[in-house]
């Protein structure tokens, strides 16, 4: 197997953090044409790397991998118990009226239109996103946001922002045609993770600057 390039952000005896480029799967999909992914690339160099969490194919940024099953379980529990502070950066259509806010809308998979998700007040799972304006571009009518997903539902940030009228630019599933055409990629980036190191318990801050 040829070890294709990837950018390593952190490496120690217990965990690995890598920068996932946009357009690359986090884990393998179905079929040989979807075998290439960040996990496969990392595992070609560090064979003990195990998946802890995922990013959408179009999303770039920080992906955390465990080295060994015990660390994978510990990190999995930390994510499940919301002990990992996740911060994303996005550029969205429009100019929010406020400088910060919350979106609390329950989400459910849209089965006939998978992988799309939808807001569903009857069967949806509770989902909460906090957002903060980083910069407004009044000339282009777009805004750069910091996003903090409190829950971790599939496509949560994308659906929540579209639901409040500020879809992420370049989003092929949830943006308006205008917002989709406004960027060559999904302008969503996993920028920061803060957590307790699974071995030492010391605070660990991982950072990966947005490339847009």
Any catalytic annotation for residue 99? no
Report which of 24, 25, 6 is spatially closest to residue 16, judged by C-alpha positions: 6
User: Does residue 25 sit in helix, strand or coil?
Assistant: strand
User: Does residue 190 sit in helix, strand or coil?
Assistant: strand
Neighbour-count burial for 150-170, b at 16+ CB within 10 Å, e otherwise: eeebbbbbbbbbbbeebbbbb
Is residue 192 within a helix (H) or strand (E), and if so which, with residue range? strand 188-196
Residues 146 and 138: their CA atoms lie apart, in Å, by: 18
Residues paired with 37 in a beta bridge: 25
The bridge status of strand 60-67 relative to strand 49-51 is antiparallel
Q: Output helix, strand, coil percentages for the chain, rounded to the nearest 5.
A: 20, 35, 45
Residues paired with 129 in a beta bridge: 103, 149
Active-site residue, from 33, 56, 70, 85: 56
DSSP string over 115-163: T-EEE-TTTPBP-EEEEEEEEEETTTTEEEEEEEESS--TTHHHHHHHH
Which residues are part of the catalytic machinery? 56
């Amino acid at each position: 197997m040829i070890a294709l390039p990837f950018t390593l952000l952190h490496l120690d005896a217990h965990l690995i953090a890598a920068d996932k480029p946009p357009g690359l799967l986090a884990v393998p999909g179905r079929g040989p044409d979807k075998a290439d992914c960040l996990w496969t690339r990392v595992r070609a160099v560090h064979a003990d790397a195990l998946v802890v969490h995922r990013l959408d194919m179009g999303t770039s940024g920080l992906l955390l991998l465990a080295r060994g099953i015990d660390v994978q379980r510990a990190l999995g529990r930390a994510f499940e118990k919301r002990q990992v502070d996740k911060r994303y950066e996005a550029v969205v259509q429009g100019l929010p009226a406020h400088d910060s806010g919350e979106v609390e809308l329950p989400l459910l998979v849209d089965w006939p239109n998978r992988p799309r998700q939808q807001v569903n007040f009857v069967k949806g799972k509770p989902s909460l996103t906090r957002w903060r304006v980083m910069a407004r571009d009044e000339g282009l009518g777009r805004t750069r946001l910091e996003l903090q997903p409190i829950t971790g539902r599939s496509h949560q940030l994308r659906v929540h922002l579209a639901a409040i009228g500020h879809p992420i630019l370049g989003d092929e599933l949830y943006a308006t045609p205008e917002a989709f055409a406004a960027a060559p990629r999904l302008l969503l980036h996993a920028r920061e993770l803060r957590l307790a190191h699974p071995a030492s318990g010391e605070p660990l801050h991982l950072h990966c600057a947005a490339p847009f």
